[in-house]
Structure formats: C-alpha cells, structure tokens
Structure 1
Amino acid sequence: MSSLYARHALLPQGWASNVRLHWNEHGDLIQIEHDASLQAHGHEYEQQAQWVLPGMSNLHSHAFQRAMAGMTEMAGLAGEGKDSFWTWRDLMYRYALHITPEQILAIAAQLYAECLRHGYTAVCEFHYLHRNQEGSFYARPAEMAERVIAAAEQTGMGISMLPVLYSYADFGEQALRHDQRRFSTNVEEILQLIAALEGKRNAQVEVGVAPHSLRAASISQIRELVAALPVERPIHIHIAEQQKEVDACIAYSGKRPVELLLDSDLLNQRWCLVHATHLNKAEVQGIAASGAVAGICTTTEGNLGDGFFDLPDYIAAGGRFGIGSDSHVSQSPVEELRWLEYGQRLRLQGRNIAGTPAQRKVGDFLYQAALQGGAQASGRKLGQLKVGYRADIVVLDDAHPNLAGIDSTDVLNTWIFAGNDNLVRDVYVGGQQVVQDGKHLRQAEIRAAYAECMRSLRAL
C-alpha cells in the first residue's frame, strides 16, 4: 500500500476533510490530495480511515529502564532518609550493571512496540550503556547501541541514536563511581562510536550525540564534541533536573546549569534540553531565544519528584518543546501531554494553561507543539503530513464511543483529556503498517522474548 484516504486528516494548517496521502517506496510523502473522493477498485474500496494524525516523536528515552518500571515504588524504612531521585538513581545503577546485549534488544523491542501502539512513531534514544559488566568495551564498541537500533528495526520504530558522553561523577570533573563503569566515555570514544554507527544511518535512523549533563561532561568537552560532530546532527543534554544539581553547579561555577550553558554560546536549534525543571526567568527566556527544544518528560518527572517545567512563561516567550517517556513508567504520549497540562493546573491552581490566542484548544496546542518540537529534536523530517516528510501516520479508532459523532475540532481535546482507553487503532511508520487494530504486528514474538529476559533479570 502506498496511499491512504482520510475522511479527516490533521495537516500543518489544521484539520482537512477528504484527503488522500501518497508515499513512495522509501516511506516519504510525495503527494497530498485535497477534496478527494473515495475510490473503488473492483468490488472493494481503497484503504480509508476516519481520523488521521502525524505520529508523535518521543524525544527522550532510556530504553533499558523499561524493565525496572514499577520496581522502585517502595518507601524507605524509618531512619533511612527520604526517598528521592538520588536514591532511585543508585537502584538504577545497580540494575544497569546486569543487562546483556541480548537483553537490551528484548527490552527495547518491547518498549518500542508499546510506544508504537500508543502513537509514538519515532524515538530519541539517550543511550549510555556502552561497556560490558566489567567496564571494558565490547569487541564491537558500539554493540549495545547496535542492539537498540536492531530493536527499532524489528518493531518499525524510527530512531535517533544519541551515544552519551559520560566522563565524570559530578561538577569539578570528579572521577566516576565504580557503579558507573558501564557508562564511561571520553570525547574520542564517543566520536568513535558515532563513526561506527555511520553505516546504520538511513531514512529511519539518525545518529546524533548526548553529553549526559554538566555534571558528567565539562563545557570544554562539550565544545570539542560539538565542533567534531557532523553538521545538523541533534545534540541532547539533561539539565537542571533537580534542585541539588542546580545548587552544586552554582557552588562549582557561580552559575546555574542553564545559565552556564547559555553563556557557552553553544545553544542553537540542534539542541534539546531535557527536563529543565528548575529555571529562573532569564533562563526561560534564554532557552526560547536560542531556538533549542525543551524536552519535557512529565510522567518521569512526576515519578522521580523532579519538579515542574515553567510552561506558561516558556510558551509566552515562544519556546519550543516536545515530550519524552524517559524512564518509561508510561509509554503513552496522551499521558505525557495530559499530565503536562494537569501539572501546571495543580501548580498554578487554574485551568487551560497551555494555549495561545491563536490556538485556544489546549489539546490541539499541546499535540501540535509537541509534534514540531519532537521532530526538531530528532533531526529528522517528521511531525507533519506534508510532502517531503516521513509517512508516519496514526489512525484513531473511530468506533470508540469517545469519538462517536465528534467534530474534528474536538478530536485532540477528547483523545488527550477524556478517558484512559488507548484510541490508537493503526500506525504506519515510513509508510509501513506496524500496528493494526491496536496490536503490533510482531507483538507475540516480541512479548515472548521480553518475558524470557525478565525471568532472567528477576532471578538475579
């Protein structure tokens, strides 16, 4: 199949009726027909759908953490101190020490199949599990990254692989802890990993880079890395996720993390600043003015107690943002967007926070803004049903009661803010169908491999 007739399609200019989408053998959209009529081929009509949307980019993922979701939700005993991001991180480090290349493929495939079923069609994989359990590189240094890319290929997920520069344990170039040994990389090693992955790049796969954070990579390292990186490749970084991180950065440099990065004059549209939950007004303005994308991961930020992104001021400044599932306590873009808005309502004790005078419908604003921000962060031509872009398409279930008799102007608000059923029926990535009637086409084999993987991990 190389075309789809949409009764209603979300195009860059908004909803349009009676649209036919055409794509080529490479998976790129080559024609958008307007005011089209449904065609019959013999006794059958062409493939058609009622509600057709561009697929969403998941701009921040640590695939291996999918296997520990739900396993850290236990309060500490009296006298052990308060649970926090930092105690969770210690547990994550211990877990990460055990994962094999075969297991990371099974985990990533399960995750990506779940993400596809919920309407994500691309992922930015912030990948830092490079070395083996002893801390040495594999015979093929990029083996772990290659396995994650293989999982994306198995499931049909588009991927931007981001090998992570992780050199230090904290500000001031402190030596890595022993339980961080699998993450250890310097600039030269990261550039070697990127070169090793060059042959993997295609219409479905991009390769960028991710300095882990200003704790784990110095500004001088980041400057060297960016200078050596091929032009237009995406660059992602964790920043200002926790107040403790902000305080440590000030103690070390006299500046806040985003302030320090802004003063480096490195930021531009290639960058994605993940979390950025602790900003002052000048930093909000600075990120927006730089053209970088803020990577907001609401479900993980809620799970880890990170804090709230300053969404209203950032929107007012014209800032770009997208969403990511990060630690994968959720694999649903609907849940990320819903709780992005609900978090702001709780914080500000108001309603309908995310919007502009030009787009007052909150669901429409959030979805369309996240489409564009996620596409920019991926470094790929995504997020629009437009000629020259990837044929990454989500079809909603028009038989679901929530969408019965609905007007197109209410579809996104209803999908995001009404109920918890998954309303995604079919998904195409690069023109290839990967989800049909709510099920991934390779769901059984992926699930079996994941179950075997988890039996091994839970026996440790």
Structure 2
Amino acid sequence: MIFAKQALLSSGWASGVRLDVTQGTITKIETQQQAHAGDVTVDTLLPALANLHSHSFQRAMAGMTEYRMAGKDSFWTWRDLMYKFTSTISAEQVEAIAAFVFLEMQEAGYASVGEFHYLHHQPGGMPYDDLGELSSRIASAADVTGIGLTHLPVLYTYGGAGQVPLKAGQARFGNSADQFNALVDKAKNAVSSLADDCRVGIAPHSLRAISPDDLKAVLAARSNGPIHIHIAEQPKEVADIQAWLGARPVEWLLANTDANEDWCLIHATHMTEVETKNMAQSGVVAGLCPVTEANLGDGPFNGQAYVNHGGAFGVGSDSNVLISLTEELRTLEYSQRLRDVARNIMVKGEGSVGAKLYCGAAKGGAQALSRQAGDISVGNLADLVAIDSTAPALCALRQDQILDGLVFAAKDTVVTDVWSAGRHAVQTGRHVKRDEITAAYTSAMHALVASL
C-alpha cells in the first residue's frame, strides 16, 4: 500500500489517501485515511508523466555541440556533428547510455519513456547478425531501470525530401520498408521479456526520410500500437516537403493518412493556423520537446491556438541535452510568453497554467505511449510520482497552487519517489540502482570519447 498525505486523484485533490497496487495496477483508493504499518508513506502524490520522445544515445553528446562554428549555426550543422558522433558508438555503449538516461528520467519524475530509436546497424551501416541487436540493448536498459518502455523503431530510408540517397553519416539508420517490418518483429521479441506494460510501436522518422509508398507499407503491416513521426520541425523541412509533395508536412499528413488518437506528431513547430486547428481536432498528440527545440533553435509551438482548439499534448526530452520534467513544462509556457509578449498562455479561458500543463501532459503522454495512465484512478497503471510539498519552493503554497509551484518555481529535486506500473525505482529521491548504472555509464563514456 501507498499512503499519501495528499494526492491529486482523477476527481481532484484529496487528503489521507491510501492506494492498493496489484500487479502494477491501482486496484483500490481510499481517502481520509491514516497510514498503516508497512505502508510506503509520501507527502504529495501525483500522476507521473510519460517522457514521450527520447533519443537516448544523444545524451552522451550533451555539451559537445555548443561551440559556435564559422557562419550560422543551425539544426542542420548540429545534425552533421551528431552523425560524426554515431560513427563509433558501440552496442554496449548504447545500452549503458540508455540505462543512465532512463535513470535520470525517473529521478526527474517520469514513469515511462517513448524511445524513438533510429540507431539500428553497425558503424558503417552493415546490419548486425541480429537485426534487432540495438533494440535489445534498449530493452535491457529498460529492464535494469524499471522504466515503462514504449519502444519505437524508426523507419529511415532516405537522406532528404524527394528520396535523396542516405549520406554516409546516416548509414546506421537506414532500412527498406520490408527490412523495417522485420526489425519491428525483432523489437517485439526483445520487449516481450519486459513487464506487461512495455510495448512496441512504430516511428516513420519524418516525411523527408521516407516515401509515401513506404509509409503506406509500414502502416499496412502494423497490427497495433502507437505511431510517432517527426514533423515540421524546421522551415527548410517545410519548404522541402511542400516543393516535393505539394503540401506542407502537417497538411499532407492529415490529408493522406488516418491520423488519429494512435498518432503522435513530434515538434510540429512550423504550422499555419489552419494546420494547427486541424491537427488539434484530429485527436493526435502533439509531442513537444521545448528544451531541445530551444537548444536547436527550432522555434516555439503554436501553443495557444492548439490548446484553444482542444488539442492533446505531451512532453519529451528528445536530444536529452538536459533531462528535467519541470524544465520542459516551464520552457513550453515561457516560449509562448516570449513570442507573444504576454503571460499565462497555455490554458483555455481561466485557470491554473501549471495544472493545465502538468495534467495535460500527463494525459497526452499516456495516450502517446499507449499506456493506461495519465491520472490516479482505479484500473490505471500505478505510474506515480511523489513530491515534497514542504520543500522551500513549495511550502508556502495552497493545495490548489502546488502544480503552479512545481512547474514554475521548483526543481526536480522535490521528487522523492517514482513508481512505473508499480515498480518503485526511485526512493527518497534516488534511483535504487544509481551506483551501478552510473559506473557503467561513466566507463562507456570514457571509452567512447577516446574513440572519437
């Protein structure tokens, strides 16, 4: 049993809350209770968020791409450096880095992750003997950390819009549609050894890295699970797709696929008002990565219009340059304020911006990862995070202000405990396997840097 002095349930705030968790699912909730002997006792219990978009291996690059090169630095120059980095990283290093990244996510308050996985082959592009070798490494990292994994193998076939051949730096990513479908089967085998809440979806990388025919082929082969795609991240991408396919990326996708609640559109940074409205009303989730989008100079999302049209959204750490749940949410709101020269934007009408951001991202993230979660209710997975409301950043706030304080005034250090489908991996602010996972990561990084 878990006892919380206060908890944000699906019905609202309650005090003296005891939760019964059976096989990873919340089976009973009682309020106005006292803690019993043997209960895990916490201060404030919230639904834990899903980190809906991660490229875990990129965490190892953090701090290596912040040197201004001659000319104008951009997403595209950053991408070239990323390709050089991936030319040497080994399977063992991929696993060690992913485990450390997942640990950092859990300590920041995330219970689950959508791993958008496009590093498939050996350096140079030759497939491993086991096509799913690196997917197996991601599954192993999820196993050791206990995080809830939605694994998203990526279809990446071309080097640019118009079916441009892959560049040398993209060789480790490339698969035909048929080879990709075989890879998905391998990934399902790898994830089948994990807990029942873990699953596999698919991720056509972007319209610039696939073809319409390949997209049709992989969608036809898919049986179930979420579908994630990068879209409209950069103005050049929008212009290239429009020149090739005759429509802007979001416009084309909504017109040529059955984009619905199973889909998550990552970034969607550059949209018209019509695209924004149509995307919001389609039922898809906007996968927003505000820290990475700021780091790469992508630009801000059309947040106010999207929320006003009822759009679902969640957040992800993408490049993992910084893994912070609170920073993602506040950067999302602050990006809107800086663009519009206004305050309190990401809420329709009146209300708490922190609550809208947090609860919206909790529900949207769960939808994007196909997890029965997003709020604390009977029948949902026990994806839970406990925070300390007596911490200096929160101690002066009323109950109805706690989420505002968490989003805008606190750091992730207020997180004390995290459960992923009932797996209690973070206790008293620290992952239970931090020492061994950190040691493996440090060793992998020393070897990787030496090979660059």
- TM-score w.r.t. the length of structure 2 is 0.97
Cα distance in 1 for partners of 2:87, 2:50 equals 29
Match of 2:388 among 394, 397, 409: 397
Counterparts in 2 of 1:131-150, with a 5 A limit? 131-150=121-140
Cα distance in 1 for partners of 2:399, 2:180 equals 46
Report the residue type matching 1:94 in the other structure: K
Cα distance in 1 for partners of 2:60, 2:40 equals 37
Shift in Å, 1:292: 0.3
Match of 2:415 among 409, 413, 424: 424
Say yes or no: does 1:166 pair with 2:156: yes
Cα distance in 2 for partners of 1:324, 1:135 equals 28
Match of 1:12 among 10, 13, 17: 10
Say yes or no: does 1:345 pair with 2:337: yes
Match of 1:184 in 2: 174
Match of 1:446 in 2: 437
Counterparts in 2 of 1:345-384, with a 5 A limit? 345-357=337-349, 360-384=351-375
Shift in Å, 1:17: 1.5
Say yes or no: does 1:210 pair with 2:203: yes
Whether the 8 Å CA contact 1:223–1:266 is kept in 2: the answer is no
Whether the 8 Å CA contact 2:326–2:412 is kept in 1: the answer is no
Shift in Å, 1:322: 0.4
Match of 2:262 in 1: 270
Whether the 8 Å CA contact 2:49–2:374 is kept in 1: the answer is yes
Counterparts in 2 of 1:199-238, with a 5 A limit? 199=189, 200-201=191-192, 202-231=195-224, 233-238=225-230
Match of 2:75 in 1: 85
Shift in Å, 1:316: 0.7
Report the residue type matching 2:182 in the other structure: Q
Say yes or no: does 1:317 pair with 2:315: no
Match of 1:415 in 2: 406
Match of 2:141 in 1: 151
Report the residue type matching 1:429 in the other structure: S
Cα distance in 2 for partners of 1:420, 1:35 equals 29
Say yes or no: does 1:28 pair with 2:21: no
Number of aligned pairs?
Answer: 448
The secondary structure found in structure 2 opposite 1:459 is helix
RMSD, matched Cα: 1.3
Match of 1:48 among 32, 41, 45: 41
Cα distance in 1 for partners of 2:320, 2:14 equals 33
Cα distance in 1 for partners of 2:408, 2:384 equals 21
Shift in Å, 1:47: 2.5
Cα distance in 1 for partners of 2:441, 2:270 equals 36
Shift in Å, 1:265: 3.2
The secondary structure found in structure 2 opposite 1:139 is coil
CA deviations on 1:232-257 (whole Å, 9 max, x unpaired) are: x1000000000000111111122111
Say yes or no: does 1:121 pair with 2:119: no
Cα distance in 2 for partners of 1:175, 1:405 equals 58
Whether the 8 Å CA contact 2:397–2:405 is kept in 1: the answer is no
Cα distance in 1 for partners of 2:181, 2:69 equals 41
Whether the 8 Å CA contact 1:267–1:290 is kept in 2: the answer is yes
Match of 1:38 in 2: 35
Match of 1:250 in 2: 242
Counterparts in 2 of 1:289-328, with a 5 A limit? 289-328=281-320
Report the residue type matching 1:179 in the other structure: G
Shift in Å, 1:222: 1.1
Shift in Å, 1:353: 0.5
Cα distance in 2 for partners of 1:216, 1:62 equals 16
Say yes or no: does 1:195 pair with 2:185: yes
Whether the 8 Å CA contact 2:124–2:168 is kept in 1: the answer is no
Cα distance in 1 for partners of 2:178, 2:375 equals 36
Whether the 8 Å CA contact 1:63–1:327 is kept in 2: the answer is yes
Give runs of ≥4 in structure 1 deviating > 3 Å. none
Match of 1:386 in 2: 377
Whether the 8 Å CA contact 1:6–1:49 is kept in 2: the answer is yes
Task: Label 1:419 to 1:49 Cα distance change in 2 as closer, same or farther (>3 A).
Answer: closer
Match of 1:58 among 51, 56, 63: 51
Report the residue type matching 1:207 in the other structure: V
- TM-score w.r.t. the length of structure 1 is 0.95
Shift in Å, 1:297: 0.3
Whether the 8 Å CA contact 1:161–1:206 is kept in 2: the answer is yes
Cα distance in 2 for partners of 1:192, 1:235 equals 17
CA deviations on 1:356-398 (whole Å, 9 max, x unpaired) are: 23x6100000000000110010012122211221111111124
Whether the 8 Å CA contact 2:226–2:262 is kept in 1: the answer is yes
Shift in Å, 1:426: 1.2
Whether the 8 Å CA contact 1:163–1:210 is kept in 2: the answer is yes
CA deviations on 1:330-349 (whole Å, 9 max, x unpaired) are: 21110000000001000000
Cα distance in 2 for partners of 1:433, 1:257 equals 41
Shift in Å, 1:449: 0.7
Shift in Å, 1:421: 5.7
Cα distance in 1 for partners of 2:410, 2:14 equals 25
Report the residue type matching 2:283 in the other structure: G
Structure 2: unaligned runs, 5 residues or longer: none
